[in-house]
Structure 1
Amino acid sequence: MCFKLVKSVLESKPGGDRVVNEYNRTKALTDETRRKLVKILTADMIETHGTSPPRQVKEKYARGIVNLFPYLSDPFSKNGYEHDGESGTGYLAWRIKTVQRSSAKDRRASGEGPSGTEHAGGPTVNREFQHVPETTLTEEQCREAISVMKHSTDEEMVKRKMKLTFPHRRDLVVDPHQSSEILSIFPRFKDVKGLIEQDFILMFGEATSVKLLEKWPTTFKQKIIRECQKLPAVNEMKELLLAEDNPEEDYELGWDSDLSSILLLLHLIPPTAQGRKRPGKVAASQAEKQLVVFKKAGTNLQEHLDSITASTQPYLLAVGTKKNVIHQFFIILDKNAIPCRSTSSLGAFDELFKAHFVFGTSYNTVLHNMYVFIQTTVYNIDVAKVKESPRVAEIRARLLN
């Protein structure tokens, strides 16, 4: 029934045959054709049911889309990516809201905006953790362990005591009045490598921790590159694609192949606008600068930290002779430099992502959709709990189907 509904609408409306023919030919839809599909179906829905169609009607059209075009289905969603009945999100819902706003221009503003509901997923959520320590420290024992760690030269002992104090640290992380003091209370994050990884494993387990390093080279990297090759070419994207075309070549332009493929994701999942006070789109090249910053070897690290004028979300500082020859990565968080254990760009990005959860830090607004994609689609954390944009679900469907 749903299949027939969507099929008949596309057959009867101008441009519908183009949508069907493109899908039959490529088993996918370009961004332009996908927008055409959504416009045709929402126009038909509104024509029949008005500008506020019932939820079951939107779900009927949504099921019809994934029945007619199964390769567009989001494998992490029950009904596909065009409409999520539980959260009221998806391309169909977004298009209907656009129509509603347009038709309401001559009426008094309703004050409707993004929901303030706190979603049950993401790095700032208080959650059950995977590891329960066999030994529970008293408050006095915890203070003593923290004191000993601050001055110890035995890194293995520091790691053991960091593991024992993990429950206490999590209590501080989820406390909005104390979370900003974590690096002051536990300063060894800033000189003992691997502590971010250790805390993340205690939170989610080893199987989740290794997902990016295991799945990015085999499942995602080449597919992201192929999808970006279909996009209109811009200079910044050409530079990133060049890293893949010349992985062994000594060229001066850009990052190595792994980091370039991560940055290409910003072209597939465009950066999020910075809010109503700072409206307008943010270019992928601008967003890149909020994810990773390059400094020549020999740069004074403290001078870089002192130059930061505001508290920033975590980003990578890459120090080397050139962008594709990096000697050391640091995670920069609130004017602190945390050395990455990994010297590879993919490993450093893995640590950067994990730092959000270890320190309970919100995603950078501009990078939010990209990070949510990494969180749900790569690490499989909070699947169906965290709110996703339709674009995140669409790109997941493209890459996994």
Structure 2
Amino acid sequence: MVNQKAIHELFYNPISNTGYLVNKIKNINVKRHKCDGTYGQSKSIKLSQSLDVTIENIVLEQEDKEFFDNCLAVEQEEAIKERLLKTLEARKNILKKSIDIFKEFKFFTFNSNLILYDFSIRYPGTEQLFLNQWKNYANVAKEIFVELFEEKSIKEIGDWNQEISSFLLLLRMLPSTSQGPKSREKKRSNFENSIPKLIKFEHLNTPRENYDLSEKQPHIIAVGANKQAVSQYLIVFDKTILPCASTYNFCQIFDLYFKIFYVFNIEFDYS
């Protein structure tokens, strides 16, 4: 029998208030409030507003704005990190406005290390939680799934490699966010439709200019000879391919993918 504490923490860790699936739970609550008529009675709160305490009157100084506009993302990485720390509160306020974040801070599109750093100064002490803890859960993901569903249902995951399959098993175990009873077939169909919103496959011989970049929401691209032999992972965000270390495994690329939602205050796709 799988340890029940491990199952619980797989979805949400109440001690650290962390967990990648907690955001899906928020989406479920939104759907529920819409159903019972209570949605909209309280102000909608975005991720950065709910997790950050900001000082409203702090703005980005002209000197800092000019630096961000003209800096070299790779060559001046350390200088940019210092400026990111200095301007943290001002940038939190900027994120509350509907702006093109890549236009405002274009250096992020050239160096994903800066995204990881920005997350670390926003949420200090949490930046390594997932990478450190996932290995404890990856090996039991399949066992948990088999306990909840029939083993033959694993074929719904597709022919991805073992590392990716572990994540997709978790995605399949998420509760439905739509209202009303659902047939098993409809739940399966919705799950299969949700996979491309997380990850897509591109053959290694396909030129990057031919990749499908139409999605505005962040998603991962797995590049390789086939889904079992992935050689590199990329992240597409706002129709832009972000630079990612060629040595990243799927766990590392998913960690970066998730942090993008927090750094840029992006709302998850409800579906």
Q: Same fold (TM over 0.5)?
A: yes
Deviations 1:174-214 (A, max 9, x none): 11x32xx1111222222213111111111101x21111111
Deviations 1:297-355 (A, max 9, x none): 1323233255x1xx532111122222233333222122111123461100111111111
CA distance in structure 2 between the aligned counterparts of 1:356 and 1:343, rounded to whole angstroms: 19
Partner of 2:143: 226
- CA shift in 2, pair 1:192/1:75, >3 Å: closer
Q: Alignment partner of 1:283: what SS?
A: helix
Gaps of 5+ in 1: 1-25, 30-73, 78-88, 95-110, 241-252, 367-401
Contact 2:202 2:221 in 1 (8 A): yes
Partner of 1:125: 49
CA distance in structure 2 between the aligned counterparts of 1:182 and 1:201, rounded to whole angstroms: 18
For 1:192-207, list aligned pairs within 5 A.
192-205=111-124, 207=125
Contact 2:202 2:224 in 1 (8 A): yes
Q: Alignment partner of 1:209: what SS?
A: coil
Partner of 2:61: 139
Paired amino acid for 2:116: E
CA distance in structure 1 between the aligned counterparts of 2:253 and 2:164, rounded to whole angstroms: 9
Q: Alignment partner of 1:329: what SS?
A: strand
- CA shift in 2, pair 1:183/1:28, >3 Å: closer
Partner of 1:188: 107
Contact 1:270 1:283 in 2 (8 A): no
CA distance in structure 2 between the aligned counterparts of 1:265 and 1:328, rounded to whole angstroms: 22
Contact 2:49 2:96 in 1 (8 A): yes
Contact 1:227 1:268 in 2 (8 A): no
2:132 to 203, 214, 223: 214
- CA shift in 2, pair 1:227/1:362, >3 Å: same
Partner of 1:349: 254
Select the structure with the greater relative contact order (CA < 8 A; seq sep ≥ 6).
2
Partner of 1:173: 95
Paired amino acid for 1:201: S
Q: In the TM superposition, what is the alpha-carbon distance from 1:28 to its structure 2 partner?
A: 9.9
Contact 1:212 1:350 in 2 (8 A): yes
Contact 2:112 2:243 in 1 (8 A): yes
Q: In the TM superposition, what is the alpha-carbon distance from 1:270 to its structure 2 partner?
A: 4.0
Contact 1:124 1:362 in 2 (8 A): no
Partner of 2:37: 113
Deviations 1:367-398 (A, max 9, x none): xxxxxxxxxxxxxxxxxxxxxxxxxxxxxxxx
Please provide the CA RMSD for this pair: 3.8
Using the size of structure 2 for normalisation, the TM-score is: 0.72
- CA shift in 2, pair 1:137/1:117, >3 Å: closer
Q: Alignment partner of 1:353: what SS?
A: helix
CA distance in structure 2 between the aligned counterparts of 1:262 and 1:147, rounded to whole angstroms: 37
Q: Alignment partner of 2:197: what SS?
A: coil
1:258 to 163, 184, 207: 163
1:359 to 2:269 alignment: no
Contact 1:319 1:327 in 2 (8 A): yes
CA distance in structure 2 between the aligned counterparts of 1:152 and 1:283, rounded to whole angstroms: 40
2:198 to 282, 291, 301: 291
For 1:234-253, list aligned pairs within 5 A.
234=152, 237-238=154-155, 240=157
Partner of 2:236: 332
- CA shift in 2, pair 1:112/1:195, >3 Å: same
Higher-Rg structure is: 1
Paired amino acid for 2:133: K
Q: Alignment partner of 1:299: what SS?
A: coil
Partner of 2:21: none
Using the size of structure 1 for normalisation, the TM-score is: 0.51
Gaps of 5+ in 2: 5-11, 16-27, 181-185
